[in-house]
Each structure stands twice: as structure tokens, then as C-alpha cells.
Amino acid sequence: MEEGCSTPVGTRRSFFVKATMLISSIIGFSLAVPIVGYMVSPALKRQPKGWISVAKIEDIPANEPTVLDYSMTVKDGWQNSQSTKGIWAVKRDDGQIRVYSPICPHLGCGYRWENQDRLFKCPCHGSVYDMEGTVKAGPAPRPLDTLPSKVENGNLLVMYQEFKSGLPEKVEL
């Protein structure tokens, strides 16, 4: 080989190999994104909301917070499964009913009704609410979250929703 005429063949070859790999990766990625999006999108779609009958109103005692099963079909991608939430219903003396989400608005724990104190209490950080859902103690930033409800033909119908925790206002997820 003449001095001064050497060709950096290895360097040029490795450049083309790397460039080819980069271009192939870009093409592969640009094809993969829409395919993955198409496959995953059913799982990410929000569930349609609907009214579900949870109890006969005559079966809900007045002034005794009552936990009711809200059973719904959850579409998880291409599979349907049953999910049950324990929602709280409070019937007043005048027959008005309020329904509360079972999720504490502080950081999302489940709370319970303590009958001897006549208060809802959350075991996680000590938030306390009265029967109206008003915060009486603890770090909860807002009252208990009410769920849309209505009475039809003697049945209590509820629409389940979830809200962001830790905020002073109700923001639906």
C-alpha cells in the first residue's frame, strides 16, 4: 500500500452499517407506534357511564348510612369483567337520599361509618366526616364526594364516578 493513499474502509463500512441500522430503527418505530396504538386503544377508552339500580329505597333505613353494592361490567381491553364498589347511601327523614363515593377524598383510602360516634372515619390519616359528608377533622381537603343519584319506580339509581384525590375541589378522573 502506498503511503498517503490508504482508505479508511473499516470506518466507512461501519458508518454505513450504523446509518442503515438507524434508518431501519426509525422506519420500524414509525410503523410500530400506530400498530401498538391500535392494539392498546380499546383498553384506554373510558367506559360509558350508566345508571345502575342499587337498592329499593324502602330497604334503605333513615339516618343510618348504608353501604350498597354497585356492580358494573368493566371492559378491560377485549375482556369484560365484573367489578363491585361499596357505595354509601344516606337517607334523611324527609326521604332525600345522598350517595357518597367509597373513596376518601384525601388520598383515596376506604372509610367506614362508626355508629357510636355517628361519623365517617378514614383509618389512613384520620379524616372524619359527618353524615352530610362535611369534614370534621383530619387532612381531607374537601367533603365526601357525592355521586349522581335518582329514584325511579321505587329504586335508587346511581352513576358511579371517581375523582382526583388531594384537591380542594371535585375533579372527575
Question: Interface with ligand FES by CB under 6 A: which residues?
Answer: 104, 106-109, 122, 124-127, 138-140
Q: What is the dihedral of CA 132, 137, 141, 144, to 10 degrees?
A: -20
Outline where the chain has alpha helix (H): 9-44
The CB-of-106 to ligand FES minimum distance in angstroms stands at 3
Q: Which is nearer to ligand FES, 156 or 165 (CB)?
A: 165
Measured from the CB of residue 84, what is the shortest distance to ligand FES in angstroms?
21
Q: Which is nearer to ligand FES, 92 or 125 (CB)?
A: 125
**Minimum Å distance from CB 78 to ligand FES?**
33
Query: What is the amino acid identity at position 9?
Result: V
Cα distance between residue 70 and residue 160, in whole Å:
8
Q: Where do we find the cell 392498546?
A: 40
What's the min distance (Å) between Cβ of 164 and ligand FES? 13
Decide whether 57 or 124 has the Cβ nearer to ligand FES: 124
* Residue owning grid cell 362508626: 114
Q: Specify the residue, 107 or 159, whose C-beta has the smaller distance to ligand FES.
A: 107
- Cell 370534621 found at: 136
Closest to ligand FES by CB, 110 vs 154, is: 110
Half-sphere exposure of 93 (CA within 13 A, CB side): 0
Minimum separation from the CB atom of position 64 to ligand FES (A): 22
Closest CA to 89 of 50, 146, 141: 146
The DSSP code for 48 is P
